[in-house]
Structure 1
Amino acid sequence: MNKSMNRWQVLIASTAILLCTGAVYAFSVFAGPLSATKGWSMAEIMLAFTINSAISPIPMILGGFLTDKGLSKWSITIGGILFGLGFFLTGIVTSPAMLYLTYGLIGGLGQGLAYSGCLSNTIKLFPDKKGLASGIITAGMGGAAIIAAPIGNYFIETQNVLYAFRMLGIIYLVVVLIASFFIKEAPVNFKPTGWTPQTKNGSKVVNKNWLAMLRSPYFYLIFMMLLTGAFSGLMIASNASVIGQQMFKLSATTAAFYVSLYSLSNCAGRVIWGSVSDKLGRNSTLNIILSVIILAFIVLVTLHSQIGFALGIIVLGLCFGGVMGVFPPLVMENFGPKNQGTNYGIVFVGYSAAAFIAPKIAVNMANANGGNFSKAFYVAIAVALIGLVTNFIYLQMKKKMTKQQNMEGIA
Structure 2
Amino acid sequence: MSNNKTNRWLILFTGIFANLCVGAALAWSVFRKPLMVLFGASVSQVTIPYTLSLALMPISMIIAGRIQDKRGPKLAMFIGGLILSASYFLSGYATNIQFLYITYGILGGASLGAVYSCTVVNTVKWFPDKRGLAGGLIAAGLGAGSIIFAPLGVSLMKIYSPLITFQIFGVIFLIVISFASIFAVSPPAGYKPEGWTPPISNLASINSASSIDKSWKDMLKDPLFYIAWVALVLACVSGLMIIGHAATIGQEVVGLSPAVAAIGVSILGIANASGRAVWGIVSDKLGRFPTVSLIFLVSALSMFLLSYMASTFLVFVISIVGIGSCYGGFFGIYPAITGEMFGLKNMGMNWGVMFTAFAPAAIFGPLLAAQVRVNYGDYSWAFIIAGGLSILGIILTRYAQSVVKKNENSKNNKVA
Structures share a fold, TM > 0.5? yes
Q: What is the match of residue 355 of structure 1?
A: 362
CA contact (8 A) 2:24 2:146 kept: yes
Tell me the amino acid that sits aligned with residue 121 of structure 2: S
Q: Does 2:306 match 1:300?
A: yes
Shift of 1:28: 3.2
| Matching of residues 57-72 of structure 1 within 5 Å | 57-72=58-73
Distance 2:73 2:400 in 1: 31
Q: What is the match of residue 3 of structure 2?
A: 3
Q: Does 2:205 match 1:203?
A: yes
In structure 2, do the counterparts of structure 1 residues 402 and 40 end up closer, same or farther at CA, with 3 Å as the change threshold? closer
CA contact (8 A) 2:55 2:358 kept: no
Q: What is the match of residue 219 of structure 2?
A: 213
Q: What is the match of residue 309 of structure 1?
A: 316
Q: What is the match of residue 125 of structure 2?
A: 124
Shift of 1:368: 3.7
CA contact (8 A) 1:293 1:316 kept: yes
Distance 1:125 1:387 in 2: 30
2:128 aligned counterpart, secondary structure:
coil
Q: Does 2:169 match 1:168?
A: yes
Distance 2:7 2:190 in 1: 16
- The Cα offsets for residues 42-74 of structure 1, whole Å up to 9 and x where unpaired, read as 655543223222211210111111121132111
Moved more, 104-113 or 195-204: 195-204
Q: What is the match of residue 320 of structure 1?
A: 327
Size of the aligned set, in residue pairs, is 409
Q: Does 2:411 match 1:402?
A: no
Moved more, 129-138 or 237-246: 237-246
Tell me the amino acid that sits aligned with residue 131 of structure 2: K
Distance 1:362 1:393 in 2: 29
In structure 2, do the counterparts of structure 1 residues 38 and 295 end up closer, same or farther at CA, with 3 Å as the change threshold? closer
Moved more, 307-316 or 79-88: 307-316
CA contact (8 A) 2:232 2:358 kept: yes
Shift of 1:100: 3.1
Distance 1:328 1:270 in 2: 11
1:159 aligned counterpart, secondary structure:
coil
Tell me the amino acid that sits aligned with residue 311 of structure 1: I
| Matching of residues 63-102 of structure 1 within 5 Å | 63-94=64-95, 96=97, 98-102=99-103
| Matching of residues 34-53 of structure 1 within 5 Å | 34=35, 36-37=37-38, 44-53=45-54
Q: Does 2:238 match 1:232?
A: yes
Distance 2:103 2:240 in 1: 24
Q: What is the match of residue 153 of structure 1?
A: 154
CA contact (8 A) 1:2 1:192 kept: no
Moved more, 190-199 or 330-339: 190-199
In structure 2, do the counterparts of structure 1 residues 195 and 163 end up closer, same or farther at CA, with 3 Å as the change threshold? same
Tell me the amino acid that sits aligned with residue 326 of structure 1: I
Distance 2:160 2:297 in 1: 46
In structure 2, do the counterparts of structure 1 residues 301 and 106 end up closer, same or farther at CA, with 3 Å as the change threshold? closer
Partner residue of 1:365 out of 367, 372, 378 = 372
In structure 2, do the counterparts of structure 1 residues 288 and 61 end up closer, same or farther at CA, with 3 Å as the change threshold? same
Moved more, 286-295 or 241-250: 241-250
In structure 2, do the counterparts of structure 1 residues 382 and 370 end up closer, same or farther at CA, with 3 Å as the change threshold? same
Q: What is the match of residue 177 of structure 1?
A: 178
Distance 1:370 1:79 in 2: 39
Shift of 1:149: 2.4
CA contact (8 A) 1:22 1:142 kept: yes
Tell me the amino acid that sits aligned with residue 13 of structure 2: I
TM-score by length of 2: 0.91
Moved more, 94-103 or 133-142: 94-103
CA contact (8 A) 1:231 1:358 kept: yes
Q: Does 2:267 match 1:261?
A: yes
Tell me the amino acid that sits aligned with residue 205 of structure 2: S
In structure 2, do the counterparts of structure 1 residues 180 and 154 end up closer, same or farther at CA, with 3 Å as the change threshold? same
In structure 2, do the counterparts of structure 1 residues 380 and 97 end up closer, same or farther at CA, with 3 Å as the change threshold? closer
Q: Does 2:351 match 1:333?
A: no
Shift of 1:249: 4.2
In structure 2, do the counterparts of structure 1 residues 151 and 376 end up closer, same or farther at CA, with 3 Å as the change threshold? closer
1:291 aligned counterpart, secondary structure:
helix
Structure 2: runs of 5 or more not aligned: none
Shift of 1:391: 1.0
Shift of 1:213: 0.5
Q: What is the match of residue 20 of structure 1?
A: 21
Distance 2:148 2:292 in 1: 29
In structure 2, do the counterparts of structure 1 residues 376 and 132 end up closer, same or farther at CA, with 3 Å as the change threshold? same
Q: What is the match of residue 377 of structure 1?
A: 383
Distance 1:192 1:93 in 2: 49
CA contact (8 A) 1:2 1:191 kept: no
1:183 aligned counterpart, secondary structure:
coil
In structure 2, do the counterparts of structure 1 residues 159 and 385 end up closer, same or farther at CA, with 3 Å as the change threshold? closer
2:3 aligned counterpart, secondary structure:
coil
Shift of 1:223: 0.4
CA contact (8 A) 2:91 2:104 kept: yes
CA contact (8 A) 1:3 1:191 kept: no
CA contact (8 A) 2:148 2:266 kept: no
CA contact (8 A) 1:25 1:145 kept: yes
Aligned-residue CA RMSD in angstroms?
A: 2.3
Shift of 1:304: 4.8
CA contact (8 A) 2:141 2:273 kept: yes
Shift of 1:309: 2.3
Distance 1:37 1:354 in 2: 28
Partner residue of 1:281 out of 287, 291, 300 = 287
